[in-house]
Amino acid sequence: MKIVTIVGARPQFVKAAMVSRAITRRNRENQDPLEELILHTGQHYDANMSGLFFEEMKIPLPVWQLHCGNGSHAVMTARMMVEIEKILTESLPDYVLTYGDTNSTLAGALTAAKLHLPVAHVEAGLRSFNKEMPEEINRILTDHVSSLLFCPTFAAVDHLKDEGIEKGVFHVGDVMQDAAILFGEQSERTSTILRDLQLQRKQFYLCTLHRAENTDRKERMTQIFDALLEIATPACPVVLPLHPRTKHCLEEYCLLPLIRQNPGVKLVDPLSFLDMIMLEKQALTILTDSGGVQKEAYFHRTPCITLREETEWTETIDAGWNQLAGYKTAHILQCLNQSPGQKEIKEYGTGNAADRIVDQLMHEFNRP
């Protein structure tokens, strides 16, 4: 069986790393090899946001490297589809494997579906029910053209059922749980980020901010950073890895000089995955608009405040590890002063989601 895996953004690299490892393990134990060919769209093209991840997580190098990281959503997705079509027409895989909810996900799924190639979607069924988010559009469309839908939660399975999708749907757990176990241990051995940034364990806040619904609106950014500047002190700083979009918007809104003047804010370039994991594990609280970071906060048992009005990961709210604060300063500060009761989330699995995905792919391929 031949698979073309399509990735283009940091969260996808992590998920693909776990499935690639599962494929390697399976191939060692079976005489019938599963061939995986990786296509990198170039959606994230910065070395810290792409190349370092492949090296650090030992992901097989891409067979195809596109350069589709610039332009509007339409321009980026169209460029990807043109190039992906050429590659899929030539390689003719048995499955096209897509991850998450980025433009790369949608471009790969639509192109494959129009070529009548089966699409397998990892992290299928997630819904924020906010169609102002481009990620929500990407998720919905990808799910509706996919043949195999690998869901990380039972809620995701229910969402697909509500939309009339029941065939080819599998609850497999969350590959990010697999990654948290593997790379969490590795980060303790290799990461020096706490020493590099002169941080004490559980004496700093970690913030990540990149979603267009926040970064593209000056009022939202102003209120979020008013809250961050309120809580930032030299004794308990706010560490903020700056996504390129976030940095550009802060400059445009003339907020960057004010932030840099605050001695309690540590602005850093995008970090390696292992350094990011270490910060997530040791932060007092995480503030984020990232779906992946919300889950990683739970995996590492760090309280999380989500800077959005909704989340795809509602079970993290129900379990008390996550709070929805939105963007208003007062709401963010209020959440920081609350301590909800916390419990385990069993549906994410025990670290074998990637193996279950590979097993199911083989099972479906070998079915008469």
User: Catalytic residue numbers?
Assistant: 210
Q: How many CB atoms lie within 10 A of CB 343?
A: 10
Query: Among residues 155, 78, 154, 146, which one has the least CA distance to residue 117?
Result: 146
CA distance 117 to 38: 16
Degrees, nearest 5: CA angle 329-292-8: 120
